[in-house]
Amino acid sequence: MKKISVIIPTLNEAESISACLACLQSVREQGHEVVVVDAGSNDATLSLSENKADLILSSPKGRARQLNFGASKASGALLLFLHADTLLPANTISVLNQLTDTDQFWGRFDVRLSGTNLLFRVIEYFMNTRSRLSGIATGDQAIFVSRQLFEKIGGFPDIDLMEDISLSSSLKKVCRPLCFKEKVQSSSRRWEQKGIIKTVFKMWSLRFRFAMGVSPDRLAKEYE
């Protein structure tokens, strides 16, 4: 099994980072690496990450910039990009052991949202099915990619939103993603705080307008 570097971008993630890193300690025990890339948190994110990550880095704000910087400092041959409010399945290593020895591959996990509302089960189904059919993955699904392929396509584009969509679009020009049915658990807090239906329509609107050529910088301002 190639060494895995799990790269986590953070900005004021004290509410989520402890649970995320707790799930990764068994990964570290098996010889893999956890990299936290912080963009100037002013809460307890960094103190909560101490001794639970192999590298804690500082980076300019912007998820794409943070992930690219983390990848440049990581030592693994397989890069796994993980949101701070997402939990990897307990059998992550055994799942990734299914990968072939090829140097060019990428993929993602299915996602399960943490909320109990039945609407979340519907949203999950369509997120995972759409991704499987389209070959496009989102950051919530814990995208993984071989370092060789990541470097070949130039990493994440330096944009403020939709970096995961853009990365997927570049990667699938080389090869289709591996879509594992094992589920990561992603926080549903954004949906619950802003309204489930409202959030669905907002995300679809942002993606549609991005596909139509609207600037990611403009969309990022609306998203925030």
Hey, where are the domains in the chain? 4-223
Strands (DSSP E) found in 59-101: 78-81, 86-87
Q: How confident is the model at residue 101 (pLDDT cuts 50, 70, 90)?
A: low
Sequential DSSP letters for 139-204: GGG--EEEHHHHHHTTSS-S-SS-HHHHHHHHHHTT-PPEEEEEEEEE--HHHHHH-HHHHHHHHH
Name the pLDDT band for 185 (thresholds 50, 70, 90).
Answer: very high
Beta bridge partners of 4: 78
The angle at the Cα of 131, spanning 125 to 133, to the nearest 5 degrees, equals: 100
pLDDT at position 98 over 90: no
Question: Average pLDDT for residues 41-63, to the nearest whole number?
Answer: 96
Q: Three-class SS of residue 133? A: helix
CA pseudo-torsion sign 65, 71, 74, 78? positive
Q: Looking at residue 212, what DSSP letter applies?
A: T
Domain 4-223 is classified in which CATH homologous superfamily? Spore Coat Polysaccharide Biosynthesis Protein SpsA; Chain A (3.90.550.10)
φ, ψ for residue 8, nearest 5 deg: -120, 115
pLDDT confidence bin for 100, thresholds 50/70/90: low
pLDDT over 80 (residue 62) = yes
How confident is the model at residue 70, as a pLDDT?
Answer: 98
Given a cut of 70, whether residue 224 has pLDDT beyond it is no
Per-residue pLDDT of 108-129, as tens digits, reads 999 999 999 999 999 999 999 9
Its pTM stands at 0.93
Q: What is the pLDDT of residues 161-178, one digit of tens each?
A: 899 999 999 999 999 999
C-alpha to C-alpha distance for 219 and 223, rounded to whole angstroms: 6
